[in-house]
Amino acid sequence: MRIVGGKNRGRNIVAPSGKTTRPTSDQARESIFNILRSATWAPTMDGAIVIDIFAGSGALGLEALSRGAEFCLFVETEPKARAAIRENTTTMGLGGCTRLHRRDATKLRIEPGNLRGPFTHIFLDPPYNKNLARPVLRKLNEQDLIADGAVIIYEMGKEEEPNLRGYEVHDTRIWGAAKVVFMGLAET
């Protein structure tokens, strides 16, 4: 795996060994960021405050940082995945603009000192078919961590049909076994 765009384009991404993570492919990542760059409903990546939840290797957050994001919080509990994220951020010199949480994403509590503002881009890639996205989004919402106009990029199995009540779906794409839904909070 490699960074596919931005200042770190071509840099290798270390992925954790084993089968506990399923990294987003280079092709899907490139497509996701091309959509985000051209969509009128997506905030700009320049200066973005990003969270990569169920981060695995951290590929989505690393890609965002390469393309101009100011800060990324990685959330991951699996030890090998956290080690891969640490290695990736260190070798790319991103220590000053990242944090790594090893907290269960469904019980997420983020202290204000760990942030630089609410998240403009939320990458959410939970294990497929486990219904984990809803409680994570509820936690972010309860803590006012979703910026006005934020975009949520939610990756799931292509057959999944989650309850997205309360969210406005902007676009849906399928790449291989994955479906990616681009959405934001519905206006109330």
Q: What is the rounded CA–CA span in Å between residue 131 and residue 31?
A: 25
The β-bridge partners of 172 are 181
* 20 Cβ neighbours under 8 A, 6+ residues apart: 78, 80, 81
Profile the chain (188 residues) by mean pLDDT over runs of 10 residues. 92 80 78 96 96 95 97 94 95 92 84 76 94 92 92 95 92 93 89
Structure confidence at residue 163 (pLDDT): 87
The β-bridge partners of 123 are 52, 153
Query: Does any domain span residue 17?
Result: no
* C-alpha distances out from residue 85 to 40, 76, 135, Å: 31, 9, 24
Residue 89: give its domain's CATH number.
Answer: 3.40.50.150
Query: Does any domain span residue 8?
Result: no
Query: Does any domain span residue 21?
Result: no
CA atoms within 13 A on the CB side of 104: 4
Structure confidence at residue 114 (pLDDT): 60
Tokens of 170: 């902007």
The beta strand positions in 77-126, using DSSP E, are 98-101, 119-124
Structure confidence at residue 99 (pLDDT): 93
Query: Does any domain span residue 89?
Result: yes
Q: Tally the domains of the chain.
A: 1
Query: Does any domain span residue 136?
Result: yes
Structure confidence at residue 22 (pLDDT): 66
Quote the domain boundaries for residue 49. 26-185
State the DSSP code for 41. Answer: T
Query: Does any domain span residue 115?
Result: yes
Query: Does any domain span residue 11?
Result: no
* 32 Cβ neighbours under 8 A, 6+ residues apart: 24, 60, 153, 180
Tokens of 45: 């990546």
Query: Does any domain span residue 34?
Result: yes
For the chain, the distance separating the N- and C-terminal CA atoms, rounded to the nearest angstrom, is: 40
Q: What is the rounded CA–CA span in Å between residue 148 and residue 184?
A: 9
pLDDT in tens, 27-53: 889 999 999 999 999 999 999 999 999
